[in-house]
């Protein structure tokens, strides 16, 4: 059962890092297939906390870790992350970065911030890490790729050509100071020298691993509703976090993927702008935020919090072909006497639907219809099996399974890797 995709089923921050960290113990390879340093995983490993942006969390378990072709890489941030890991005694010799991945250059970061400022109240609320501008240049076929760092002359040439145009954009369109060519070129060359040993043909590497029957995890960043094609456009990221994109993002065929594990919180969070039907009104939102420590790993921003949205989750199950679901942070709901779950949306004309609206205006005006489940008001942290959970918590999980038509194969009840219940055993999740 070699290849399993781990995909965010909401708006990101579902706790994928922790699930990957857990499953990586019994895997051989962990690959990122899209996104860049807009993602952030906080992982508690052997009592130490690590915040990773580029490197897959499998690195802490000493696994081969791949940054696939579908990713965008900020060389300065990647170098800092590698140095930080090495500095804390974690070897990074098993990290491989696809030569086809694109580089996020300083002008991408500058343009991301400048264009958000320009949009004013229409802004997307990006992480300002240069993600959109880097993917835009990739699609326009003027991007600089990781493999360009292997040839200093070519890198320098591409750098100068790009900067001649980008400085005009920065100055004339956005009214911000241009970037200084010499200083930046020197910095890039230093990063290039540090990163050269990590560059590899990662598509071939993953193919070999699969042929040898090794277990491969394909780790998505962000989440389904932030997908460029199927998410809540334009309040989305600029890549495809969906399970289907895992194949193109690492460079294998879709027939090589065996399982798709969706990851969803037992409630919902969203950072940045955009519609959010189940966003909690009133003081309970702040309560969920405090209990769940819902502040961005990458930006430190407060996350908006809402009740579980089964309409969105059903959509995620569909577009990802989810084979099972990991339900995270169930313990956060222990504080609530009643737990509302959105099972339908009421649309502007008054009709109700269980399907995610295909039209943006319907989604923007959708009102959540809730069914309220009794809370359990007991801590869950020490639960080791389904039977250890209070009856009301088990009923909550069963309700989700039944309404979704997807089995819940993992339930997380605390921050550490061990605080996970696997009702049918871990082997059923990733083979």
Binding site for ligand IMP (CB under 6 A): 11-13, 38-40, 124-127, 129, 131-132, 221-222, 226, 235, 237-238, 271-272
Taking the complex as a whole, the smallest distance from the CB of residue 38 to ligand IMP amounts, in Å, to 4
412: burial class by Cβ within 10 Å (0-12, 13-18, 19+)?
A: buried
Distances (CA, A) of 122 to 55, 116, 408: 32, 8, 37
Q: Which residues of 332-341 are buried (b: 16+ CB within 10 A; e: fewer)?
A: bbbebeebbb
d(CA 396, CA 371): 11
Active site residues: 13, 41
Query: Based on CB atoms, which residue is closest to ligand IMP, 167 or 224?
Result: 224
290's CB contacts (< 8 A; 6+ apart) are none
Taking the complex as a whole, the smallest distance from the CB of residue 311 to ligand IMP amounts, in Å, to 19
d(CA 382, CA 330): 12
Tokens of 384: 């080791």
Q: What are phi and psi of 67, to 5 degrees?
A: -105, 110
Query: Based on CB atoms, which residue is closest to ligand IMP, 136 or 335?
Result: 136
Taking the complex as a whole, the smallest distance from the CB of residue 322 to ligand IMP amounts, in Å, to 19
Query: Based on CB atoms, which residue is closest to ligand IMP, 41 or 215?
Result: 41
d(CA 170, CA 107): 8
Taking the complex as a whole, the smallest distance from the CB of residue 274 to ligand IMP amounts, in Å, to 6
Query: Based on CB atoms, which residue is closest to ligand IMP, 98 or 127?
Result: 127
d(CA 261, CA 114): 37
Taking the complex as a whole, the smallest distance from the CB of residue 187 to ligand IMP amounts, in Å, to 22
DSSP run (H or E) holding 410: strand 408-412
Query: Based on CB atoms, which residue is closest to ligand IMP, 2 or 274?
Result: 274
Question: Could you identify the residue written with the tokens 């394909």?
Answer: 218
């Amino acid at each position: 059962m070699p290849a399993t995709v781990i995909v965010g089923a909401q708006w990101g921050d579902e706790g994928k890092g922790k699930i990957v960290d857990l499953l990586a113990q019994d895997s051989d390879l962990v690959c990122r297939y899209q996104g860049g340093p807009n993602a952030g995983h906080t992982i508690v490993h052997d009592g130490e906390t690590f915040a990773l942006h580029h490197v897959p969390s499998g690195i802490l378990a000493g696994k081969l870790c791949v940054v696939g072709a579908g990713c965008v890489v900020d060389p300065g941030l990647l170098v800092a992350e590698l140095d930080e890991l090495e500095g804390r005694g974690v070897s990074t010799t098993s990290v491989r970065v696809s030569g086809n991945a694109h580089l996020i250059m300083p002008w991408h970061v500058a343009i991301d911030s400048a264009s958000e400022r320009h949009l004013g109240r229409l802004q997307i609320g990006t992480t300002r890490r240069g993600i959109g501008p880097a993917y835009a240049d990739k699609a326009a076929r003027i991007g600089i790729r990781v493999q360009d760092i292997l040839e200093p002359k070519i890198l320098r040439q591409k750098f100068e050509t790009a900067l001649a145009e980008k400085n005009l954009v920065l100055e004339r369109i956005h009214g911000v100071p241009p970037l200084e060519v010499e200083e930046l070129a020197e910095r890039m060359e230093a990063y290039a020298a540090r990163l050269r040993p990590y560059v590899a043909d990662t598509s071939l590497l993953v193919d070999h691993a699969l042929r040898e029957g090794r277990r491969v995890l394909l780790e998505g960043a962000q989440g389904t509703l932030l997908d460029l094609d199927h998410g809540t456009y334009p309040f989305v990221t600029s890549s495809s976090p969906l399970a289907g994109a895992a194949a193109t993002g690492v460079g294998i065929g879709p027939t090589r993927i065996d399982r798709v594990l969706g990851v969803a919180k037992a409630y919902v969070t969203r950072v940045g702008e955009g519609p959010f039907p189940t966003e909690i009104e009133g003081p309970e939102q702040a309560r969920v935020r405090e209990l769940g420590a819902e502040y961005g790993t990458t930006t430190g921003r407060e996350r908006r919090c809402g009740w579980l949205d089964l309409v969105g989750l059903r959509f995620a199950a569909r577009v990802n072909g989810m084979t099972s679901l990991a339900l995270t942070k169930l313990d956060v709901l222990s504080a609530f006497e009643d737990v509302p779950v959105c099972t339908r949306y009421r649309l502007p004309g008054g009709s109700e639907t269980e399907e995610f609206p295909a039209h943006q205006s319907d989604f923007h005006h959708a009102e959540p219809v809730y069914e309220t489940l009794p809370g359990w008001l007991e801590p869950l942290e020490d639960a080791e099996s389904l039977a250890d959970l209070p009856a009301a918590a088990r009923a909550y999980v069963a309700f989700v399974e039944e309404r979704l038509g997807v089995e819940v194969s993992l339930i997380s009840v605390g921050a550490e890797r061990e605080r996970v219940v696997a009702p049918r055993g871990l082997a059923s999740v990733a083979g």
